[in-house]
Amino acid sequence: MDKKNDSFCDPLPLTYCNEHKMNQSNYTYDSMFIFEHTFHVPVDYDNPETGQISVFVREIRSNLSKRNPYLVFFQGGPGFESPRPITHSGWIKKALSRYDILLLDQRGTGNSTAANFQTIGDWDPKKQADYLQHFRADNIVKDAEFIRNEMIGDKPWSILGQSFGGFCALNYLSFHSHGLKEILITGGIPPLMAHPDDIYRRTYDRVKRKNGEFFNIFPNAQDRACRIADSIQKTNPTLPNGDKLSIERFQLLGLQLGFHDGYANLNYLFEHAISNGELSYSFLKGLLGLQSFDTNPFFTVLHEACYAQQFSTNWSAARIRDEFPEFDPNARHPFLFTGEMLYPWMMDQFQALVPLKEAAQLLAEKNDWPLLYDPTALSNNSVPVVAAVYTNDMYVDRDFSLDSAESIKGIRLWKTDEFEHNGLRSHGEKVLAKLFELLD
């Protein structure tokens, strides 16, 4: 094979690559001392000659005269960049009381080498798929290990995984536990071996219940949703970015139902959705702002693949939806929103996803995904692990999480119905305080 022609990107000069890390900028903001780093890592750790990408890391410290142990944050997703430190508050403020924080823009996101229609859209679909298969939890963790060795050598560090970040944490624990001092997980203990078909059957049931809660709290929302759906059906409206708005795309707003403020946000979005007999510009722009499937494309392309282990997913959420006719877009009273489900039609209706459509299909058909977890390693675990399991979590099934926890030696659980899936973002100081209690 001609490795040069088959490479994903041009290799960087060795003199540059050997530095691996460079401080791009340092600054102080809202009592936070912030350092920015870029590391250059292999796309494929098994075949590093195929090219390199960059991984961006934002380091936050509260004290320049004292170094604390590192806490590495693994963001939810997949396909989303790390949170930006806007204020010295929430979980970041609480974490800085005992750690220096590292916020990783997971490969392909944020300030790391981007993976989207602008950067790889003109590639051959097979090359796209071959490239994107390396953007799952296993390689995100390998990036973290690369960075750990560069920053602190053989010393272990602590990690915090939120949602999909918890999937990364258990992959880390399975295959690289020597690099870990302790693990904190919030709303993100993954099913270790479950097939997405079984996961989505439970997900549709939970989303149906969330719809019921939403419409009970805001009694006018159901009628407004039906009116909006009827208007979409009659007028075939266009969104501000040029995409056509379908009823199915309108239903995707149900992703908000799993957040602590999601019910209210949707209710107030719907209040002024109709203007002079048509959908208002403010509604259309608001809907567009709540959907990041195009700005973070491999949330759609790789979401189901984050469960795949030696089997194909074949657009599981779309197939299982046929078992739940109540989510039919033509249904009214009740009209139901979907949740964290990704569908093949999205690759047509989102303009920015169209260039990745064929690659997404190849990834959905892929059946030789490597294993993400090692049950033997987890059962013999010696790393302290604490985790918040949310009773009302719409995205990560509580029962699957508890089943998986039984396989992790020494894990300590905090089971709570006080928060939604985004409890770390909405009530971060309280959530971390409880996890610190379990650690201590």
End-to-end Cα distance, the chain: 53
**Amino acid at the residue 309:** Q
CA dist., res. 251 & res. 139, Å (int): 32
Which of 401, 359, 430 is closest to 131 using CA atoms?
A: 359
Among 167, 142, 3, 13, which Cα is nearest to 76's? 167
Q: Could you say which of 163, 174, 316, 401 is catalytic?
A: 163
Q: Are 191 and 199 in contact (CB under 8 A)?
A: yes
* Among 322, 317, 327, 328, CA closest to 395: 317
If you ran DSSP here, which 8-state letter would residue 108 be given? B
DSSP alpha helices (H): ranges in 88-153? 90-95, 117-120, 125-132, 137-152
Per the annotation, the verdict on 421 as an active-site residue is yes
- For residue 163, indicate whether it is catalytic: yes
Separation between Cα atoms, residue 208 and residue 214, nearest integer Å: 10
Let me know: does 389 contact 398? Beta carbons within 8 Å.
yes
> Three-class SS of residue 322?
coil
- Of 432, 419, 391, the residue nearest 73 (C-alpha): 432
Q: Which residue has the tokens 């602190």?
A: 152
Rounded to 10 deg, the angle between the 196-217 and 262-271 helix axes is 60
* Tokens found for residue 90: 């929430």
What is the residue whose two structure tokens read 């990364």? 168
Q: Which of 37, 40, 134, 421 is catalytic?
A: 421
Distance CA 81, CA 111 (A): 8
What residue has token string 């949703």? 225
In the residue annotation, 401 being an active-site residue is answered as no
Please identify which of the residues 2, 154, 368, 440 carries the catalytic annotation. 368
| Catalytic site positions | 163, 368, 421
